[in-house]
Chain A
């Protein structure tokens, strides 16, 4: 591991100031991804600003939005009674990811900012445009069964590994940021970038910006919701595919639908075209199959991950059927 300096911040302002005045500084949350990558010499920050002890109280704001501080641990979010009652797919997504120990450490901000688990990204002996821009991508002709079928580019086909981000995308979450230039808010669906020809640029944060809070509007009162994940073992594995869905049905007709897909792209994939197909349609299997086809119309398989497309189609249909 490359040497680095360590400092701990007690509030957002001092964290942002410390990062702005310390060359090469990176924010440290729970460390479950960053410390691992540093040990592999894939991340080589010159300085860490520890933000894991920033205030982490989860609350409902005066505007009715759920406000989750970025330093809140995954466990505390999943255990929160309001989250479990009114935002249940957040809790469902969290308990479908990682292990008990990791959920105790991992923060919400770190969860959103975690790097891909592409094996070639982790392997310093492999070519990876994300790790070393311009070096090539060994996943193209390699073991790519875990890789993306939507939004990939010839330069990178890595997926974003978060379960939580998929649920937050379906819930229209916003990400609140603080940085040297002040505060701003971005929609969660605009936080991560598709690879294009710059796969090393993964998000829309400016240098030194810190995620301070994730806020979530209350879902429609009549909507039912579910997070469904398929993986290669029952627990403690990343998704092959996952679906976060909200469905509001009245008198047999879909009033509103929201669908976000995980494990298939470099970002949580909001399937807006499928939502449009569903809205106003009869809540039938035929409608759900049509929506799944629309959601996956642009899906392109690599050499070893073609199974993800029919698998995702079936998971979308069965999840919507379960909710109707």
Chain B
């Protein structure tokens, strides 16, 4: 049993080869998580597993048994978007939109990591008790999500506005 976006799903995983990504898209009918590279390189399949951002393409569905998964469908809905999603729209944080569900889920997980005191490569002091979400920190911490349209400036601005309070 996997709790997906708050709803328990009893879907038999008859083939252990099933990735969590294929399970979500094919078995659960959730097409938000995208299959970009299917080899852990692009981040388009990013979902939250027990609140932490992971790559659904390299997670076996069987490994998610008994855990909770949040996809972009669980973040917001038409007419009731998450503030982060509104910010992506306001800052043109996408063009084609294919990477966007992964970007959104990744940013949510990233903000939680900052709140929990997870350092990054660009953190001024790795032993610090807390970390500020500077644009450099956002770029470094989001480096696992590629955008082939190159909407990075808008993505960084949207994340900064949402979690820091307005781009400079």
Residues in chain A within 8 A of chain B (CB atoms): 1, 3-6, 8, 28, 30-32, 35-36, 39-40, 48, 50, 52, 75, 78-79, 81, 84-85, 88, 91-92, 95-96, 98-102, 104-105, 234-236
Enumerate 17 A-B pairs (CB-CB under 8 Å) in ascending A order: A3-B15, A35-B59, A36-B40, A39-B38, A75-B118, A88-B127, A95-B120, A99-B43, A99-B143, A101-B43, A101-B46, A101-B54, A101-B106, A105-B54, A105-B58, A105-B59, A235-B143
Judge whether B110 and A31 touch: CB under 8 Å: no
Q: Nearest Cβ distance between residue B99 and chain A, in whole angstroms?
A: 13
A78 to B145 alpha-carbon distance, docked (Å): 20
**Is B116 part of the binding interface, using a Cβ–Cβ cutoff of 8 Å?**
yes
Judge whether B53 and A101 touch: CB under 8 Å: yes
Query: Nearest CB to that of B129 among chain A residues?
Result: A81
A30 to B58 alpha-carbon distance, docked (Å): 8
Residues in chain B within 8 A of chain A (CB atoms): 15-17, 19, 38-40, 43, 46, 52-55, 58-60, 62-63, 65, 106, 109-110, 113, 116-121, 123, 126-127, 139-145
Q: Which 3 A-B pairs have the closest CB atoms?
A: A99-B144, A235-B143, A6-B16
Judge whether B43 and A95 touch: CB under 8 Å: no
Judge whether A84 and B119 touch: CB under 8 Å: yes
Judge whether B144 and A236 touch: CB under 8 Å: yes
For residue B118, which residues in chain A have a CB less than 8 angstroms away from its CB? 75, 78-79
Judge whether B58 and A78 touch: CB under 8 Å: no
Contact of A236 among B19, B60, B63, B143 (CB under 8 A): B143
A106 to B46 alpha-carbon distance, docked (Å): 15
Judge whether A102 and B119 touch: CB under 8 Å: no
Query: Nearest CB to that of B146 among chain A residues?
Result: A236
Judge whether A100 and B116 touch: CB under 8 Å: no
User: Given known contacts A36-B58, A100-B141, what 20 new A-B pairs fall within 8 Å (CB)?
Assistant: A1-B17, A8-B62, A8-B63, A31-B58, A31-B59, A32-B55, A36-B39, A79-B113, A79-B119, A81-B117, A91-B119, A95-B119, A95-B126, A101-B43, A101-B46, A101-B106, A104-B54, A105-B55, A105-B59, A234-B143
Q: Nearest Cβ distance between residue A54 and chain B, in whole angstroms?
A: 13
For residue A105, which residues in chain B have a CB less than 8 angstroms away from its CB? 54-55, 58-59
A5 to B141 alpha-carbon distance, docked (Å): 35
Q: Nearest Cβ distance between residue A40 and chain B, in whole angstroms?
A: 8
Judge whether A79 and B126 touch: CB under 8 Å: no
Contact of B121 among A5, A85, A235 (CB under 8 A): A235
For residue A8, which residues in chain B have a CB less than 8 angstroms away from its CB? 62-63, 65
Q: Nearest Cβ distance between residue B84 and chain A, in whole angstroms?
A: 16
A202 to B162 alpha-carbon distance, docked (Å): 46
Q: Nearest Cβ distance between residue A234 and chain B, in whole angstroms?
A: 8
Contact of B53 among A40, A84, A98, A100 (CB under 8 A): A100
Judge whether A32 and B126 touch: CB under 8 Å: no
Q: Nearest Cβ distance between residue A315 and chain B, in whole angstroms?
A: 16
Judge whether B144 and A102 touch: CB under 8 Å: yes
Query: Nearest CB to that of B136 among chain A residues?
Result: A234
Query: Nearest CB to that of A47 among chain B residues?
Result: B16
Judge whether B53 and A50 touch: CB under 8 Å: no
Judge whether B144 and A31 touch: CB under 8 Å: no
In the complex where A101-B43, A235-B121 touch, is A75 in contact with B58 (Cβ < 8 A)?
no
Q: Nearest Cβ distance between residue A143 and chain B, in whole angstroms?
A: 18
Query: Nearest CB to that of B143 among chain A residues?
Result: A235
Query: Nearest CB to that of B125 among chain A residues?
Result: A84
A48 to B60 alpha-carbon distance, docked (Å): 11
A91 to B123 alpha-carbon distance, docked (Å): 11
Q: Nearest Cβ distance between residue A223 and chain B, in whole angstroms?
A: 15
